[in-house]
């Protein structure tokens, strides 16, 4: 697997377990990952569940790194004002020297209470996000922005300073629903589905290609990526009795990811899976270590996975 064909990303463990995440360990992992050759570092997002805030965390990570891309996987965009997000991401782009990738998603049923608590209607969140993406790009690239949408209205608004990246930071869209595939083809700079098996990924990527062509877009304008769970263990095996499986305080079960039974992954199995994604055309794979010892998992990945990429 030629190294230039795949960039490996790491999801930093910002979810808490029986208390506050150890921020010093998060920053240490970020430094180790950059030094080892990871191409990007990512954080998840939730408002009320046990997780530290995404963009503030990335600002801290930016101060401890120099080269890796910094992204959200994924930010609940429709729950936030796009004007505030535009300013925060522009600031983060300056703090990082132009390394930000904004991954966004509308949120699922499990986020309903967060919308309610923030005073944002849960209904039509997808349409709200589509408008927000348009607003972000306008604020990042233009002065005196006027926008009259169903959910947002701006009159002569200018954001300054604008991001370092020109024309602006990339926006990757998460999910794999039919509407998401259409959204990716129409609006996104990248596609970031969640734990999608290679065969399903390939089928959906073909559909995105078809939809993009209908919109007059070149598929090269859309960065194909995927977010995967992994728990590396030399002997592999079932997770039936795997007490060390863990996804953070926001998940009730330590043995499942969104209803999916987990299994341990040997280094060879993970490499084979990565190679399958490369064959499909995936350019970035983001690993989330579903384990109570993410630092140990990172070191195992550096030792057993990165040398083969």
The pLDDT value recorded for residue 290 is: 85
pLDDT per residue as tens, the chain (309 positions)? 544 589 999 999 998 766 677 899 999 999 999 999 999 999 999 999 889 999 999 999 999 999 999 999 999 999 999 999 999 999 999 999 999 999 999 999 999 999 999 999 999 999 999 999 999 999 999 999 999 999 999 999 999 999 999 999 999 999 999 999 999 999 999 999 999 999 999 999 999 999 999 999 999 999 999 999 998 987 655 544 455 555 554 444 434 445 555 567 899 999 999 999 999 999 999 999 988 889 999 999 999 999 999
pTM: 0.93
- What b/e string do you get for 192-217 counting C-beta neighbours within 10 Å, with b at 16 or more? bbbbbebeebbebbebbbebbeeeeb
State the Cα–Cα distance between residues 34 and 148, nearest whole angstrom: 42
- Domains, the chain, ordered by start: 3-308 (3.20.20.30)
Instruction: Please answer whether residues 283 and 224 qualify as being in contact, where contact means their C-beta atoms are separated by less than 8 angstroms.
Output: yes
Nearest to 67, CA basis, from 44, 35, 90, 106: 35
Task: Show the CA angle centred on residue 28, arms to residues 26 and 32, nearest 5°.
Answer: 120
State the Cα–Cα distance between residues 287 and 226, nearest whole angstrom: 9
* Paired strand residues for 185: none
The pLDDT value recorded for residue 182 is: 98
The pLDDT value recorded for residue 50 is: 86
Question: Which phi and psi (to 5°) does residue 159 adopt?
Answer: -100, 125
Instruction: Map residue 239 onto helix, strand or coil.
Output: coil
In sequence order, what E strands does the chain have? 7-11, 40-43, 69-72, 75-76, 100-105, 145-148, 153-157, 170-174, 190-192, 223-230, 256-257, 260-261, 284-289
The pLDDT value recorded for residue 27 is: 97
The pLDDT value recorded for residue 264 is: 79
State the Cα–Cα distance between residues 173 and 25, nearest whole angstrom: 28
């Amino acid at each position: 697997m030629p190294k230039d064909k795949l960039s490996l990303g790491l999801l930093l463990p910002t979810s808490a377990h029986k208390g506050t995440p150890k921020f010093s360990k998060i920053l240490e992992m970020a430094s180790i990952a950059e030094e080892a050759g990871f191409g990007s570092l990512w954080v998840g997002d939730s408002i009320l569940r046990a997780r530290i805030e995404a963009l503030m965390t990335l600002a801290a990570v930016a101060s401890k790194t120099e080269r890796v891309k910094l992204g959200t996987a994924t930010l609940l965009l429709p729950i936030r004002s796009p004007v505030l997000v535009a300013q925060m991401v522009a600031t983060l782009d300056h703090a990082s020297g132009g390394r930000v990738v904004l991954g966004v998603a509308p949120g699922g049923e499990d986020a309903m209470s967060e919308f309610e608590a923030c005073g944002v209607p849960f209904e039509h969140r997808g349409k709200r996000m589509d408008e927000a993406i348009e607003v972000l790009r306008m604020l990042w690239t233009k002065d005196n922005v006027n926008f009259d949408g169903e959910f947002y209205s701006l009159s002569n608004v200018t954001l300054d300073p604008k991001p370092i990246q020109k024309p602006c930071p990339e926006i990757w869209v998460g999910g794999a629903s039919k509407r998401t595939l259409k959204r990716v083809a129409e609006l996104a700079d990248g596609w970031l589905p969640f734990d999608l098996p290679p065969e399903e990924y390939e089928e959906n990527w073909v559909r995105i290609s078809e939809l993009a062509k209908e919109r007059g877009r070149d598929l090269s304008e859309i960065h194909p990526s995927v977010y995967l769970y992994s728990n590396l263990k030399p002997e592999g095996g079932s997770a039936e009795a795997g007490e060390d499986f863990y996804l953070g305080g926001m998940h009730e079960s330590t043995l499942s990811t969104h209803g999916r039974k987990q299994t341990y992954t040997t280094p060879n199995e993970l490499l084979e899976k990565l190679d399958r994604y490369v064959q499909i055309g995936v350019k970035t794979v983001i690993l989330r270590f579903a384990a109570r010892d993410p630092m140990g998992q990172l070191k195992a990945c550096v030792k057993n996975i990165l040398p083969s990429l």
